[in-house]
Amino acid sequence: MIIREASFLSSNTQVAACPAPDRPEYAFIGRSNVGKSSLINMLTGRLGLAKTSSTPGKTQVINHFNINNEWYLVDLPGYGYAKVSKSSRADWGKMINAYLTKRENLTCVCVLLDSRHAPQAVDLEFMEKLGEAGVPFIMIFTKTDKQSTSQTKALLADYLTKMGETWDELPRHFVTSAETGLGRDEVLDFITEINR
Ligand code: GDP
């Protein structure tokens, strides 16, 4: 896929206020600091398109981007901040739940996972929730340039074993680096394939 157009559209806290659901939508989410902004910027080839949202307590919003006037890329607020209050965690839960269950054009959730960290309960639980809600998702492993290929392979094997305990069919997964551009073509080809 050639990215001809990638522009910011809107930030919303209400699903009903999001752009008209008239095209496929891909939402990116993960723990804070997982590399979400960097990955979005790498995929779209637009440095600074997604801003880092890793300041705890910052307003949590659903950010829509227009890609090629063909699909929406959505930057969702991350989870797993250590310092977030109970009430903002509850607000996050409500908003994300509403988004995942009500956004009718949501095509696929891209769950970002740091390739250096062993499977974490918060990520596994989030993916279980997606499964229960019947939302299709893929796993995107980030920051693979920070370690050797064999370390990434070992981590992936760990993850897939762990996921195999819950899932009959394992979700598609992609190995990426925002630093080197690894995985860019694969993720964009996957989106092209689904949009066809
Ligand atoms: P976010 O909070 O999930 O949006 O994460 P950011 O995209 O802001 O990234 C968090 C930190 O990880 C920043 O210091 C990035 O420069 C760094 N980072 C993100 N992706 C990569 C990557 O693929 N490789 C390397 N080496 N660093 C990365």
Residue nearest to atom 6 of ligand 1 (CA): 35
Residue nearest to atom 20 of ligand 1 (CA): 35
Ligand 1 centroid from CA 7, angstroms = 21
Q: Of all atoms in ligand 1, which is nearest to the CA of residue 38?
A: 7
Ligand 1 contact via 145 beta carbon (within 6 Å): yes
Residue 167 is predicted with a pLDDT of 87
Residue 85 is predicted with a pLDDT of 82
How do residues 85-116 score in pLDDT, each as one tens digit?
888 888 889 999 999 999 999 999 999 999 99
Residue 144 near residue 175 (C-beta atoms within 8 A): yes
Look over the chain and give the mean of its residue pLDDT values, rounded to a whole number: 93
CA–CA gap between residue 195 and residue 189 (Å, rounded): 10
Domains and CATH numbers, the chain: 6-195 (3.40.50.300)
Query: Where residue 52 falls among pLDDT bands split at 50, 70, 90?
Result: low
Q: For a pLDDT cut of 70, what percent of the chain falls above it?
A: 95
Output 8 or 60, whichever has higher pLDDT.
8
Inform me whether the pLDDT recorded for 68 exceeds 80: yes
CA–CA gap between residue 64 and residue 80 (Å, rounded): 22
How do residues 121-168 score in pLDDT, each as one tens digit?
999 999 999 999 999 999 999 999 999 999 999 999 999 999 999 888
Residue 26 is predicted with a pLDDT of 98
Residue 60 is predicted with a pLDDT of 87
User: Of all residues in the chain, what percent are helix, strand and coil, respectively (each to 5)?
Assistant: 35, 20, 40
CA–CA gap between residue 85 and residue 89 (Å, rounded): 6
Residue 82 is predicted with a pLDDT of 67
How do residues 18-44 score in pLDDT, each as one tens digit?
999 999 999 999 998 999 999 999 999
Residue 53 is predicted with a pLDDT of 54
Task: Please choose from 28, 29, 38 the residue to mutate so as to test ligand 1's pocket, defined by most ligand atoms within 8 A of CB.
Answer: 38
Residue 80 is predicted with a pLDDT of 80
Residue 81 near residue 25 (C-beta atoms within 8 A): no
